[in-house]
């Protein structure tokens, strides 16, 4: 297994989701196998699989033949498919929006990205398997921190 977060997070845009027509992103078969529940796993093929990032689409994965695997077929909640607020962002180290928000409310900021960076540097991440997207989550964590801090800043009254 390669070091998941040391590689470029760029993935090739490939086929479109057969349900939502959103361009899918290639995902390693190992990721799909690791995250599918028992019954959907019984029908998996060795074809190339893709991740559907569209939030309103129930499809998480699809293959080249058009076989789809929906949210209920996957062992974890896929943050791109869930409403914001409590979503899991880092599947390796349990960084989620609710905890990030609580930390920001208590301290004025969150060290979630620093914690994830430290784990990456120590060679502990397994994003290529644990993250449903099959790619490093650090960018997602950084974006979540920015959203949370922006939301809190908008709620804080300006003092003169």
- pLDDT tens-place string over residues 101-159: 999 999 989 999 999 999 999 999 999 999 999 999 999 999 999 999 998 888 866 55
What is the share, in percent, of the chain residues with pLDDT greater than 70? 88
Distances (CA, A) of 51 to 12, 13, 17, 97, 104: 11, 10, 8, 22, 31
Summarize the confidence of residues 73-97 as an average pLDDT: 95
Averaged pLDDT score across all residues of the chain: 90
CA distances (Å), 151 to each of 71, 84, 104, in order? 28, 12, 11
Residue 8: pLDDT over 50: no
Kindly list the structural domains of the chain, giving each domain's residue range(s) and its CATH number in brackets, ordered by start: 13-73 (2.20.25.270), 79-155 (1.10.10)
Average pLDDT score over residue span 22-47: 97
- Specify the higher pLDDT residue, 86 or 103: 103
Determine contact, residues 40/69, Cβ cutoff 8 Å: yes
At residue 12 the predicted structure's pLDDT band, cuts being 50, 70 and 90, is: very low
- Local structure of 140: helix, strand or coil: helix
Q: Give the Cα separation of 113 and 101 in Å (integer).
A: 13
Residue 60 has pLDDT above 70, yes or no: yes
For the segment 42-50, the average pLDDT, to the nearest whole number, is 96
Picking from 3-7, 41-45, 81-85, 127-131, which range would have the lowest pLDDT averaged per residue?
Answer: 3-7
Residue 128's nearest CA partner among 73, 76, 91 is 91
What span, in angstroms and rounded, lies between the C-alpha atoms of 152 and 146?
A: 10
pLDDT at 7 over 60: no
H-helix or E-strand containing 115?
A: helix 112-121
């Amino acid at each position: 297994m390669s070091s998941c977060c040391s590689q470029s997070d760029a993935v090739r845009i490939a086929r479109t989701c057969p349900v939502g027509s959103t361009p899918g992103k290639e995902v390693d078969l190992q990721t799909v196998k690791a995250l599918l529940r028992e019954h959907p796993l019984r029908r998996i093929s060795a074809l190339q699989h893709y991740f559907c990032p569209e939030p309103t689409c129930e499809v998480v994965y699809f293959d080249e033949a058009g076989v789809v695997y929906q949210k209920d077929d996957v062992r974890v909640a896929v943050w791109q498919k869930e409403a914001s607020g409590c979503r899991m962002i880092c599947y390796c180290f349990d960084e989620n929006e609710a905890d990030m928000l609580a930390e920001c409310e208590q301290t004025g900021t969150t060290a979630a990205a620093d914690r994830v960076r430290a784990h990456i540097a120590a060679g502990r991440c397994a994003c290529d398997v644990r993250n449903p997207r099959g790619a490093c989550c650090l960018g997602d964590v950084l974006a979540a921190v920015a959203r949370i801090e922006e939301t809190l800043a908008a709620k804080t009254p300006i003092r003169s």
